[in-house]
Amino acid sequence: MAADRRTLTIEDYARGVRGGDRAMLARAITLVESVKPEHQRQAQALLQHLLSEDAGKTQTPVFRIGITGVPGVGKSTTIDQLGINLVEAGHKVAVLAVDPTSTRSGGSILGDKTRMTRLAQSRDAFIRPSPTSGTLGGVDKKTRETMLLVEAAGFDVVIVETVGVGQSEVTVSGMVDFFLVLLLAGGGDDLQGIKKGIIEIADMIAINKADGDNIARAKRAQSIYQGALQIVTQPAQEWVPPVLTVSAQDNRGLHELWDKILDHRRIMLETGGFWARRGDQAVAWMQDMLHARMWAALMRRPAVAQRLAEIEGEVRSGKRAAGHAVEELVTLSGIEGASP
């Protein structure tokens, strides 16, 4: 559509997204990624419009899947092959691949379409690279909004790929229905995931690159992780994370992997855990946005902005207690009734 963004109405965006217009979907995502206040207001109005259209409708919930793993574990190859399998099975797949943004230049290497070559060529797939812009955990703060847009556009499987470092794993696990952790065997430490607390948030562990001379090592790693899971899993737990060996390169084990995801979905829907998880995530999302807005509003207060650096220095040097500093900032802000 040639119309300038400023001339587009919320109804225009919604109609284009619902109609499967790829160009309009891309523009809608750009809108929610914009930091301009006017665009942000439009974006939230669009999301609410799309949610209101769905209110009261009986719909099969979209698959929201997070995939993480250290660099070199084969995330992109796995997503590419898994995505092709799903498209061939009749699904429409959207991939939200989070890219690390340069802390110096702010630039982002948006190379996901070159790393998922076959999936990128499919008419039933949509790949959207998103720069992290320095946000906590390497996950773009607009990933959740983008997820809602691609779902409204008819994609029934949404895969969020993380950079696989630090807090990103926890952040992504808090916005998806199923969290898959990819690991490698024979890296000198087959219990690396346990040390990082991965098992606490993983719904499945897959030992990738189980091919060629690496098959035996992958099987050993599978046995180690499965044994560890039996120790940390609670007896009454609804779902015990399985450990699989896969080879994305040879497309081996990925159909079984998808079957396990279907089993998890069925169990969670039957027990009520699925919608409880979705509800908790929505509330957490709201709280995160509220905290961000409140902090931004606080920083716009001249009295606070003028004193903040000095107060932070006093706290850093140990001259002032953190709680006392907060009390002064709250007083400077003029916020009434802000005491805990």
pLDDT tens for 87-104 read 999 999 999 987 555 444
Show the tokens assigned to 340: 């805990």
Q: Which of 18-22, 153-157, 197-201, 220-224 has the lowest mean pLDDT?
A: 197-201
pLDDT tens for 294-340 read 888 888 888 888 899 999 999 999 999 999 999 988 888 877 554 54
- The sign of the torsion formed by the CA atoms of 268, 269, 275, 276 equals negative
> What was the pLDDT predicted at 319?
92
**DSSP assignment, residue 5?**
G
**Nearest CA among 166, 159, 226 for reference residue 197:** 166
> What was the pLDDT predicted at 151?
94
pLDDT tens for 250-284 read 999 999 999 999 999 999 999 999 999 999 998 98
Map tokens 């953190």 to a residue: 322
In angstroms, the CA 69 to CA 184 distance is: 9
In angstroms, the CA 161 to CA 119 distance is: 14
**Nearest CA among 292, 310, 287, 291 for reference residue 329:** 310
> What was the pLDDT predicted at 3?
52
Fold topology of 1-57: 1.20.5
Average pLDDT, the chain: 84
pLDDT tens for 163-218 read 765 667 778 888 999 999 998 886 545 555 455 567 778 899 999 999 988 899 99
> What was the pLDDT predicted at 53?
80
Backbone angles phi, psi at 151, to 5 degrees: -65, -40
> What was the pLDDT predicted at 109?
41
pLDDT tens for 127-165 read 987 655 555 444 556 888 899 999 999 999 999 988 765
In angstroms, the CA 100 to CA 134 distance is: 8
| Residue boundaries of the structural domains of the chain | 1-57, 60-270, 283-333
Fold topology of 60-270: Rossmann fold (3.40.50)
Torsion on CA atoms 317, 319, 325, 327, rounded to nearest 10: 170
For 160, the enclosing helix (H) or strand (E) is strand 157-161
pTM of the full structure: 0.85
In angstroms, the CA 130 to CA 144 distance is: 12
> What was the pLDDT predicted at 108?
43
